[in-house]
Structure 1
Amino acid sequence: MPAFVSGLVAARRARRRSGLIPALVIGLYLLVAAAGPLLIAYDPVRTPLEDRLLPPGAATSSGGTALLGTDALGRDVFAQVVYGARTSVLIGLTTVAVCLLAGVAIGCVAGYYRGWVDSVLTRLVDILQAFPGILLAIVIAGVFTPSLWVIILALSVTGWISFARVARSVVLSVRERHWVDAARLIGVRPRRLLGRHIMPFTVGPLVAMATLEFALVVLAEAGLSFLGIGLPASSVSWGQTVANGKEYLSSAWWISAAPGLALSVLVVSVGLLGDTLTARYGRARSR
């Protein structure tokens, strides 16, 4: 019996550590995104052609060191990775926030009022889900002038659907609980009833989903920028940097490898953290 208990304790500690390491990695990315551009002296869009295709660690014409090398136009790859982290984090957080607010509002209204309101909103979700989300994003990004807000709009068109479905399912399961019925009987208004007695139960599942949605948004933004329909050329994105180095993979592999590795580590870390949160809150809901 003691061995069984110690095994349970060890398993719980292992689960906690499995979420701690990705959280630390994500925190490092957030720190780099917030403070990194303030600490580096290199301009990511400056094009000193005399420094083109320098390998990692090589000296530049200005007396500095290209830590991750330079690209075909002499731009510092390390600076592009750091500034690209800011771009990805900003777009990811903003898009997830927009999708979260819209999805929670629509899902809670549909789940609480049900009837024709639920039918109309559910049909809207079904119509949008009939089109691939990335395809709609490509169309929107291609029609409008490339900008940060156009990318956020393009990635938010269908991104709110998953949040709406989760919020609706939680509201449907909670709205018939006895404390909700009691609050309804004493005359609590629907807005207060939703905000105080129902919506707190949606926090855990939505936080877990937000982490996974963040990883998908970062990947989608990098894909759009790689295709050339993402951010304008004056901005810095990991997808743009990877695209700039695709023709030099045999001779200057570091141009695409550095941002690609940064993107992969961030997405994997967010995915692992999301899996940990999903498992934890999934057990909590099943109790």
Structure 2
Amino acid sequence: MSGIATLVMSRRRATTRRRRGGLVPAVIIGLYLVVAVFGPLLISYDPVRTHLQDRLLAPGATTSTGATALLGTDALGRDVLAQIVYGARTSVFIGVVTVAVCTVIGLLIGFVAGYYRGWVDSVLARLIDILQAFPGILLAIVIAGVFTPSIWTIVLALSVTGWVSFARMTRSVVLSIRERYWIDAARLIGVGTGRLLRRHILPFTVGPVVAMATLEFALIVLAEAGLSFLGIGLPASSSSWGQTIAAGKEYLSSAWWISAAPGIALSILVISVGLLGDDLTARYGRARSR
């Protein structure tokens, strides 16, 4: 009995550690969401308004208006903290919308391919393979360069190939579930296709979709920052971490904070989302193995 009790206690402690491991990145991501939603209401600075008399001020310096530039200013006198706060709104919005679009498209295509199989599955599977053969970032650069710069252009550019991962995952789940005995039983009693997919197959995709969505969110935020760094996709009137990092690359030796501050903010968000995604993936794997 003592051995069994020790085993149970060790499993409980391991479960507690895993929950705590996922709690920290979740809290950090929650703080980013709060900053993205409410931060601009608390920041009185216009992130794109120039103040040449306050250019290249170090963090904590006082501006010409008497305010304190907590994270300094850039070469045009723009407040770096304001750019980070407004840039968080841009990155989070693009990430959430793009993930939502990719999830919907991927689920629909994955369900159709996995459930109906046959020539439908063959055509959709070949389409997925073709899109995966092209580097997604190159297609995003082409699309962002063709259309008028805007947030929606970035969403379109990143959604063109972003749905492929969701479609492949959904297709594999549907293929593994559609032949189970309860699916056959549901068909025998006359359950329609729509209800069958919604009530008996869709719940099995929720776990992996949520886990994949977190990881894809991190990749999308990185891709958006990369496009903004190259000056593609977003207009100059928008605030983006990539634009701020690019604006400071010429002043790394004299005004390092211009690129370092948004770079650190971007790194913390991406790492936190990645850790949360790994935790969700592990939870889904354990639940599926039971």
TM-score in terms of structure 1 length: 0.98
Tell me the alpha carbon deviations over residues 66-113 of structure 1, each in whole angstroms, 9 at most, x when there is no partner.
000000000000000000000000000000000000000000111000
CA distance in 2, matches of 1:152, 1:67: 32
Give the one of 158, 166, 171 matched to 1:163: 166
How many residue pairs match? The answer is 287
2:265 is matched with which residue?
262
Give the one of 7, 16, 19 matched to 1:16: 19
Structure 1 residues 52-67: aligned runs within 5 Å: 52-67=55-70
Structure 1 residues 121-270: aligned runs within 5 Å: 121-270=124-273
Q: What amino acid maps onto 2:198 in structure 1? A: G
Q: How far is 1:5 from its partner? A: 3.0
2:73 is matched with which residue?
70
Contact 2:148 2:233 in 1 (8 A): no
Question: Unmatched 5+ residue regions in structure 1?
Answer: none
Q: What percent identity do the matched residue pairs reach?
A: 78
2:112 is matched with which residue?
109
CA distance in 1, matches of 2:179, 2:7: 39
CA distance in 2, matches of 1:87, 1:74: 21
| RMSD of aligned residue pairs (Cα, Å) | 0.8
Tell me the alpha carbon deviations over residues 170-224 of structure 1, each in whole angstroms, 9 at most, x when there is no partner.
1111111111111111221111111111111100000000000000000000000
Tell me the alpha carbon deviations over residues 146-193 of structure 1, each in whole angstroms, 9 at most, x when there is no partner.
111110000001000110011111111111111111111122111111
1:279 is matched with which residue?
282
Give the one of 34, 41, 44 matched to 1:41: 44
CA distance in 1, matches of 2:278, 2:252: 33
Contact 2:58 2:72 in 1 (8 A): yes
CA distance in 2, matches of 1:9, 1:282: 18
CA distance in 1, matches of 2:74, 2:105: 40
Give the one of 96, 100, 105 matched to 2:99: 96
Contact 2:144 2:154 in 1 (8 A): yes
SS at match of 1:157: helix
CA distance in 2, matches of 1:81, 1:94: 20
Q: What amino acid maps onto 1:174 in structure 2? A: I
